[in-house]
Amino acid sequence: MLCSILIIEQNILGLQGVLVKKVTSSHCLTVIDIEMPVSEHLCPACGLSTSYIHDYRHQLIRDIPAFGVPVILNYRRRRYRCPHCGKCFSEHHPFVPKYHRMTRRLVAHIIELLRSEYSFTSAAKTVNLSVSTVIRVFDTIHIPKPQKLPHVFAIDEFKGNTGNQKYQAIITDPASHRVLDILPDRSQSSLIGYLRQWSPKQRKRVRFFVSDMWQQYTDIACAFFKNGTQVIDRYHFIRQMVWAFDKVRKRVQQIYGKKYRLLFKHSKRLLIKRNAKLKDCEKERVNSLLYISDEILHAYYLKEQFYKIMDANDRQTAKRLMSDWISSAESSNIEEYMYCAKTLLNWQTGILNSFDVPYSNGFTEGCNNKIKVLKRNAYGYRNFGRFRNRILHMFSYKNDLAKQGC
């Protein structure tokens, strides 16, 4: 009979080998009186077995909330005394770590909550603990740098404003959709110091280096990944053209009165969008704006021609279309497009490499958006190490799901 009751009570609480003696519940707190069954214990001093009870101590232990209500385990902790050497010691209790006042599963629950974009404050409210306690639990996590470099190495920066640095760098593997590491800043000295941790043999593993159009990234690629091919992310070189067109729009709209300035300003997204993707009513609105100025009409034509480069299926086609576009932009006498053409010409090799491989910084940019949510929920992070661990811990969960095919 005792055995069957024990099994039922174990199933109710979910803790192996724990006897539930009493449950006191209210709308704001649940207190469960528990104890362990009497059993033989080995004396930590002499190593002999004993079941002689010396006394009891009461210990309050926090557990996972039940239906949103905090749960306290009132643990009647038994102490044994060894009849051979007189040593007194506490019984073994596997559900709570030594010197802790919360169950192992509550610790695991906190760490699981922090795999999402939860802030420490939100997690603390969920489990009815102080923010400092939740932070202490999380700080037990340490995520080391990756053991090896991937074949596809992608790098980008995001505005983290942590550790006295405005920008942090994120390193990913776009081929396997994994976040590899977060660096405290994007400076060349920081990148060099980080990459020197790997042997030349490891660095030779990198076949493709994906980045934006920042010269320091190119210098790093040439110095550390000599066998790799640098690929310029498509989003970043398309953005160069978009910026050029938008600068033309802003300059042209200042020439006209307030009515037309507002029309141009409110139609910004329509003017940037590909003409083929516009609805009929949107095309009419765009056409009415284009015929106001010959310069904006010419800039719009160049913008549409640039988008045709992105439709190329191979490097040779893209190279031909880009060369034609650069020539048209240089002869357009539109200052913004002439500067854009010069930039694209300087980065042409890396841009054309993007038509040979399926890799881009699309996954990395998506990670940056999730990092922004994490940072916004927490109102920022001052400690870079904690911020890095939060990011890597959050994406480690997503990496695990990807491996499982979920």
Name the pLDDT band for 7 (thresholds 50, 70, 90): very low
Residues 215 and 318 in one domain: no
- Distance, in Å, from the CA atom of 182 to the CA atom of 392, rounded to the nearest integer, reads 8
Q: Is the residue at 295 inside a domain?
A: yes
| Beta strand 19-25 pairing with 208-211 | unpaired
Residues 240 and 346 in one domain: yes
Residues 251 and 303 in one domain: yes
The structure's pTM equals 0.83
Q: What share of the chain is helix, strand, coil (3-state, %, to 5)?
A: 50, 20, 30
pLDDT tens per residue, range 154-179: 999 999 999 889 999 999 999 999 99
Residues 227 and 367 in one domain: yes
Residues 96 and 205 in one domain: no
Residues 328 and 266 in one domain: yes
Q: Which helix (H) or strand (E) holds 203?
A: helix 200-203
Residues 229 and 363 in one domain: yes
pLDDT tens per residue, range 241-281: 999 999 999 999 888 878 778 888 888 999 999 999 999 99
Residues 242 and 308 in one domain: yes
Residues 347 and 238 in one domain: yes
Half-sphere exposure of 35 (CA within 13 A, CB side): 13
pLDDT tens per residue, range 316-335: 999 999 999 999 999 999 99
Q: Is the residue at 147 inside a domain?
A: no
Phi-psi region at 93: left, alpha or beta (left = phi > 0; alpha = psi -120 to 50): beta
Q: Is the residue at 342 inside a domain?
A: yes
Q: Is the residue at 288 inside a domain?
A: yes
Residues in the chain: 406
H-only helix segments in 310-383: 315-330, 335-346, 348-353, 362-377
Mean pLDDT estimate for the chain: 89
The tally of domains found in the chain comes to 4
Q: Is the residue at 298 inside a domain?
A: yes
Other CB atoms closer than 10 Å to residue 342's CB: what's the count?
Answer: 12
Residues 310 and 216 in one domain: no
Residues 205 and 313 in one domain: no
Residues 279 and 258 in one domain: yes
Write out the residue range of the structural domain in which residue 377 sits: 152-233+359-404
Domain boundary residue, one of 119, 141, 163: 141
CB neighbours of 61 closer than 8 A, spacing ≥ 6? 72, 73, 75, 96, 100, 101, 102, 103
Q: Is the residue at 146 inside a domain?
A: no
